[in-house]
Structure 1
Amino acid sequence: MGSGGFILLHYESTLSGYNQSSFFVSSTNHHKMKLTIFGKLYLAIFLATSVAIVFMVVVTNWNFEQSFAKYEREADLERIECLAKHLAAKYPDQPDLSFLGNNPTQWLTDISIGLNCDAEARGEPLLSESAIYKLSGAIRLLDENGVLIKGAPLGDQQYGQVIIPSKNQSVGSIQLILADQSENSREITKNFKLQQGGYLYLIALFSALLSLLVALVVVRQLVTPVKKLTEGATSLLKGEFATQINVASGDELGDLSRRFNQLSAYLQRNEELRGEWIADISHELRTPISVLRSETEAMLDGVRPPNLKHIRSLHAETMSLKQLVDDLYQLSLSDAGDIELVDEVVELGGLLDSALFAAESLLDEKQITVVNLLDLDKTYPVRGDESRLYQLFTNLLGNSHRYTDAGGSIQVAIKTESEQVVVEIADSAPGVPDDALPRLFERLFRVDKSRSRALGGSGLGLSICRNLVEMHGGKIEAHHSDLGGLLIRVRLPLLVDAAKP
């Protein structure tokens, strides 16, 4: 199994529990229970909601206590203002109120009347005697100089102060100090807090139940694409590479689903290519083996004599078979990245001229004219492996020799273009159909299979050339030639600093 299969197997083993179990819990191969993705997400949302609700209850309770205490003090301060108005209205001619300090009965009477004045107008109930008595302990009466006349001793923390006017002059002031709540206030506070707390807990419980329902819907929506991916991975493991997932979202899960579909299409294409590859290789190997078998059987049966001519025919088929095996081995090395390149500076113009010179005798056999357009006064340096680049040019010239009609021509040129060295090898007829140009570098592809096999081509030469070019960071292209045949254009990165104009 390849690396892709291993990844899919690991992915499937990770998610298989979700497929074969309840939403929340699944069992592993070791018979241990574990939470599914659904359970984890649901639990995470529930915990987050619970923490938020608890925080809300605590903060609300704290805020309520602070706000209610402030409300009570503000209400008491309003009552103190009423008391100040009552005293100012009752004793308008008194220069001061120090006489109240020696008359506690009158002070309590004034407090009882003053604290309840305007109560009905404010929509508040009248204070009871016990409430008035408790509140009087939080009140102090001062003269105009701030000297204590009656009430709580000085030194206690003051909450508010109200001036007592008398004929546009201050005759004293009343201060409200921070004291313990009265019994009546505590009872009111307690009952009110219990009532509001009950409402708050009901709201919190309703919010928790509502959040669980919403979480159920949200988690189902989140987990559904994961479940589809799990089912898709299972299909891929079964070899169903045509499996596609319906993508209904544009989020990360949607992107993952699209990547899954791309992976599926890639595996499907690779499976088709693998089938074609096996069929083509089988056919390529079967042809020379069949010839060798028929030739040897004919010699064994005495149909053909084992003379030099027939032995040379066997040797030719053997060499053809060897060439095919060597090409396959070369491709396997490049695919696996096992070809080590020598990193050196190569002068491409001179190397191409050497390859062309070596091929001249072979081209002369078919009376193919060579048009050499190389300008050897210029240098075309690249960084790469000289032996592999020589192999590249040899393969390309051999391909032109093999498929160019006798009496034709080959044109070789080199130039620089946008910090690239461009090598062009063009030949004359026969040409290549338009639909075949993009496929020329595919393995075992032949435009005319019967003609190519008869000429000794394995269908792997241009594939090897493409691998060699790409190993050097370049690009190879196939176009129609002006000579009527094929134009192969190779682009390799120019070593700018070493170039000679």
Structure 2
Amino acid sequence: MAVIAAMTVTMVVAALIIGPAVFDQHMHEAGHGEQPQLLAHAQEAFRSAGLASMGAGVALAVLAAVGASAFVTRRIGRALDALARGADEVAQGHYDQPVRMQPTGRELDAVARTFNAMAGQIAGTEATRRRLLTDLSHEMRTPIAAIQVTLEAVEDGVTPLDDATLDTLRAQTRRLERLATDLKDVSAAEEGRLDLRREAVDPADVVRAATGAAAAAYGRQGVRLELDVGEDPPARVRADPSRLGQVVDNLLRNALQHCTAGDGVRIEVRSCATGTTVAVSDTGSGIAAEHLPHVFERFYRADPGRRRDPESVTGTGVGLSISQAIVSAHGGTLDVRSDGPGTGATFTIALPPA
């Protein structure tokens, strides 16, 4: 209303200042300047008609403005009410399309779409959080139960507190420690907080160190481990050698878990103009097509019933997630391929050139 009042005053003042002077000039040009009574009467008629016209125009403008303002305010009010209800729905944990409203305008419609998209992301995050807590509880239960059973056996005198018993307790505590470390690492990697100390690295050296460290475990399980770096030395990549070695370690450990005595694992390192690839192929259990899109998810198991060595500290359930996050942080990719159960699997790291 203040804006309308200011506009009205401005129009009246401008009309009173400019209108009579312009009218008087035209009357003189028309030859009526020597007729003062006629001129005065005409000026008064012009002023009265002008003020009446402006008054009627302002009144109609005010009514139109009030009507338009009420219409727009009502539409905006309905939209804001819908957004407020949507916020309440999200606060109560209902994330399925919380904002429902009729088309109101481009800006408010965009806000509603963005709000619903945000609610969908929150729903996905909440589902991941719940699954993470459930899976974490499951992963922790096994080592905790092993520790508890071992301690009870020692207390009851069933098991002596010898080196073998202490090794079992240490193995399970290391498994818990590794689980905590892995969860911290994968969260840091996914949030872009992973500390990378990059340098020019020969990927063949990293792979040789990883295969050397894994050789004993492979030998105990009767699984062949082969390394092929090609005839030409691979090109160097700019990477954190410790983190890159962690990825190769995880892939070798994962391959061993899916192999039995007599199977084999082969690592190939190749370079080309687009970068360097490290492929870890095994002849183990393989992966069904429906599981392939999920193998890099935290705690995902293609075969929940697959036995794990209870004495092992490996297999925390997040190794592949960490590996993919680390490779992504280096600007590369980590992919998996398998023709199905019983055909083995191949995990391929692709890194850009240095």
Task: Give the deviation of 1:76 after TM superposition.
Answer: 1.8
Task: Give the deviation of 1:317 after TM superposition.
Answer: 3.0
2:242 to 384, 387, 390: 387
CA distance in 1 between counterparts of 2:276 and 2:339 reads 19
- 2:31 partner SS: helix
2:87 to 229, 233, 246: 233
More strand by share: 1
1:486 to 330, 339, 345: 345
Structure having the higher Rg = 1
CA distance in 2 between counterparts of 1:66 and 1:421 reads 87
Alignment of 1:108-127 (within 5 A): none
Task: Give the deviation of 1:464 after TM superposition.
Answer: 1.3
- 1:450 partner SS: coil
CA distance in 2 between counterparts of 1:228 and 1:376 reads 67
Task: Give the deviation of 1:194 after TM superposition.
Answer: 1.0
Task: Give the deviation of 1:459 after TM superposition.
Answer: 0.8
Amino acid at match of 2:221: K
Alignment of 1:54-453 (within 5 A): 54-58=9-13, 64-65=19-20, 67-76=22-31, 135=34, 182-242=36-96, 244-246=98-100, 248-249=103-104, 251-335=106-190, 337-375=192-230, 377-416=232-271, 419-451=274-306, 453=308
Contact 1:236 / 1:264 at 8 angstroms: preserved in 2? yes
CA distance in 2 between counterparts of 1:460 and 1:264 reads 27
Kindly indicate whether structure 1 or structure 2 has the higher relative contact order, using CA contacts under 8 Å at least 6 residues apart. Answer: 2
CA gap 1:52/1:307 in 2 versus in 1, 3 angstroms: same
Contact 2:85 / 2:98 at 8 angstroms: preserved in 1? no
Task: Give the superposed CA RMSD.
Answer: 2.8
Task: Give the deviation of 1:314 after TM superposition.
Answer: 3.5
Alignment of 1:29-40 (within 5 A): none
Contact 2:234 / 2:269 at 8 angstroms: preserved in 1? no
CA gap 1:58/1:435 in 2 versus in 1, 3 angstroms: farther
* Alignment match, 1:475: 333
Task: Give the deviation of 1:450 after TM superposition.
Answer: 3.2
Amino acid at match of 1:72: M
- How many residues were matched structurally? 349
Task: Give the deviation of 1:367 after TM superposition.
Answer: 2.9
CA gap 1:206/1:423 in 2 versus in 1, 3 angstroms: same
Instruction: State the TM-score, normalized to the length of structure 1.
Output: 0.63
**Structure 1: any 5+ residue segments left out of the alignment?**
1-45, 78-133, 136-180, 496-501
Task: Give the deviation of 1:67 after TM superposition.
Answer: 5.0
CA distance in 1 between counterparts of 2:140 and 2:291 reads 24
- 2:305 partner SS: helix
CA distance in 1 between counterparts of 2:271 and 2:151 reads 54
Instruction: State the TM-score, normalized to the length of structure 2.
Output: 0.86
Contact 2:234 / 2:271 at 8 angstroms: preserved in 1? no
